[in-house]
Structure 1
Amino acid sequence: MGMQPGPEMGYPGATVTIAPEPSLRAEFGAHLEMNYPRLVAQLCMITLNSAEAQDLVQEAYARAWQRWADIRELPNPTDWVREMAVQGTTGKWRRLKAKLGLDRARPADTPSEDPAHAAVLDALRQIPLYRRRVLVLVDIAHLPLDEVAEIEGIDFGVAEGRVAQARRELNEYMALRPATQPSAVNWEDM
């Protein structure tokens, strides 16, 4: 039912639905293939659950596809997709999903086989979500702090305080690890 008779076919008032141009579809596919793993890794550090991170990024890409012709013109379309995925981690979105019955039980993630990576995830788990989001967006996604403040809907000074506190907490938790665990040289490389 993709194409309905339209004015060009002699039916006034009817609409014509045209499939997206093949280059648009190919461009979207290439963008998704290139950025999906990195975005899932970033969201996994925020949610601490790989299944939830995958769902959030998939939902963001589904939204992006609906308006890809416009989003592709943005200076960095990946930032838009990331912002939509991050918005899914906020309480209001989670409550809405629960209300609509769209949240499903998530199996516990299996621990990382890399001890350094597991140590970072354990340390991140100790940081409240609202600070962890800011930390990951600044240190992993390398977004400017003013942009993170805008995404989070908070003042610049609040974002600055949250990232500073989260960094302190992360460093404290990493320092408390047993000496038998290898130290991660740079947590941002995880």
Structure 2
Amino acid sequence: MTTRPEDADHYADHSAEFDAFYAATAKRLVATVYAMTGDLAEAEDAVQEAYVRAWQRWERLTREGDPLPWVRTVASRLAISAWRRTRSRLRAQFRHGAAADVPELSADRVALVEALRELPAQQRQVVVLHHLLDLPVDQVARETGASNGAVRTRLSRARKALGKRLTDTTAFTAEGAAHHG
């Protein structure tokens, strides 16, 4: 089978378009999925797999509009699925602390990450999409396959849990500093 010159040009156009899309979106998508899962390696793997799947459907995805929501949804689902399979391993890591080569994070960031990890996966996902990515409720609903009402309920419950957890952590940190100061 021979390749026609116009086929090669078409492939090169799609390849350049995909490469530009990847360069513009991959870093933020990894950060998004990491915020959902709390596991950077899982986030990177899921995002990479989502882009592979997007490349296989690139022409259809771009014909339908912005491919980013599709890629984000696939990456999120892959990561959450992997997260569920490795939940016991993650619990052990949480109990025993982070690996020694993880860079030092501020106390506020550590508290936020720990609080997010304690949320159920569906609540964590909607918090990340809505509050960290500033997506409207209806788009979060489309990407998660939930109704607008379910997204609002999850957001409300998550905010309540995060508020309590972060208030408790702040009080504990301040109390510890007062006793040790």
Q: TM-score under structure 1 normalisation?
A: 0.72
Report Cα offsets for 1:59-116 as digits up to 9, x if no partner.
Answer: 110011012122234442211210111222455x778xx7xxxxxx789554552213
Counterpart secondary structure, 2:74: helix
Residue in structure 2 matched with residue 129 of structure 1 by the alignment:
121
1:179 counterpart residue number: 174
Task: Output the amino acid matched with 2:105.
Answer: D
Q: Which residue of structure 2 aligns with residue 72 of structure 1?
A: 62
Query: Who is 1:53 aligned against?
Result: 43
Of 141, 146, 152, which aligns to 1:149? 141
Matches within 5 A, 1:1-190: 4-5=1-2, 21-91=11-81, 110=99, 113-115=104-106, 116-177=108-169, 178-179=173-174
Instruction: Note if contact 1:112-1:118 (Cα within 8 Å) is conserved in structure 2.
Output: no
2-structure distance, mates of 1:130, 1:118: 21
Q: How far, CA to CA, are the matches of 1:160 and 1:168 in structure 2? A: 12
Structure 2 residue identity aligned to 1:79: P
- CA positional deviation for 1:19: 8.0
Query: Could you list the per-position Cα deviations for residues 23-67 of structure 1 after superposition, in whole angstroms to 9, with x for gaps in the alignment?
Result: 221221121112111001110111110000011111110011012
Q: Any unmatched runs of 5+ in structure 1?
A: 9-16, 99-104, 182-190
> Given that residues 127 and 155 in structure 2 are in contact (C-alpha distance below 8 angstroms), is that contact kept between their aligned partners in structure 1?
yes
Structure 1 residues 43 and 120: CA distance shift in structure 2, 3 A: same
Give the superposition deviation at 1:146. 1.7
1:184 aligns with: none
The structure carrying a bigger helix percent of its residues is 2
Q: Which runs of 5+ in 2 are unaligned?
A: 177-181
Write the letter of the residue equivalent to 1:113.
E
- What is the CA deviation profile of residues 127-180 of structure 1, one whole-angstrom value per residue up to 9, with x for unaligned ones? 111110111111112222122223222222111100111111112211112128
Q: CA RMSD in A?
A: 2.9
TM-score in terms of structure 2 length: 0.75
Length, aligned pairs only? 160
- Evaluate the alpha carbon distance shift between residue 59 and residue 174 of structure 1 in structure 2; reply closer, same or farther with a 3 A threshold: same
Give 1:5 shift. 4.9
